[in-house]
Amino acid sequence: MRLPTPADLCWNVKCSPDQEWIERTLRIAVENVWPQALEAAHSRNGHGSHVVEIVESAIEHAVCRLKTGDPLGPEQVTQLLQRLVLQEVRRRRRANGRMVFVGSSEELPPTTVRNPQIQIDCALDLEIILQGEPPDVRLALLLRYSRFRWSEIAAALGTTEAAVRLRCKRAIERIREQQEGEQHES
Nearest to 167 by CA among 179, 153, 146: 153
This model's pTM is above 0.95 = no
pLDDT band, residue 167 (cuts 50/70/90)? very high
Condensed to tens digits (0 to 9), the pLDDT of residues 38-82 reads 787 777 666 666 777 888 888 888 888 888 878 888 889 889 888
Eight-class DSSP state of 17: G
Examine the pLDDT at 131 and tell me if it is beyond 80.
yes
Q: Do 52 and 102 contact (CB within 8 A), yes or no? A: no
| Long-range contacts of the stretch 170-177 (C-beta < 8 A, 24+) | 171/133, 171/137, 171/141, 172/141, 174/132, 174/133, 175/129, 175/130, 175/133
**Farthest CA pair distance, the chain:** 88
3-state secondary structure of 112: coil
Helices marked H in 18-146 — which ranges?
20-45, 51-68, 74-97, 117-129, 135-144
Mean pLDDT, residues 153-173: 93
Q: How many Å apart are CA 7 and CA 31, to the nearest integer? A: 10
Contacts of 4 (CB under 8 A, 6+ apart): 34, 52
The model's pLDDT over 14-33, given as tens digits with 9 standing for 90+, comes to 777 777 788 788 888 888 88
Q: Return the pLDDT at 23.
A: 79
Count of alpha carbons within 13 angstroms of residue 42, beta-carbon side:
6
Q: Packing angle between helix 20-45 and helix 51-68, nearest 10 degrees?
A: 140
Question: What confidence score (pLDDT) does residue 19 get?
Answer: 76
pLDDT, residue 123, reads 74
pLDDT of res. 158: 94
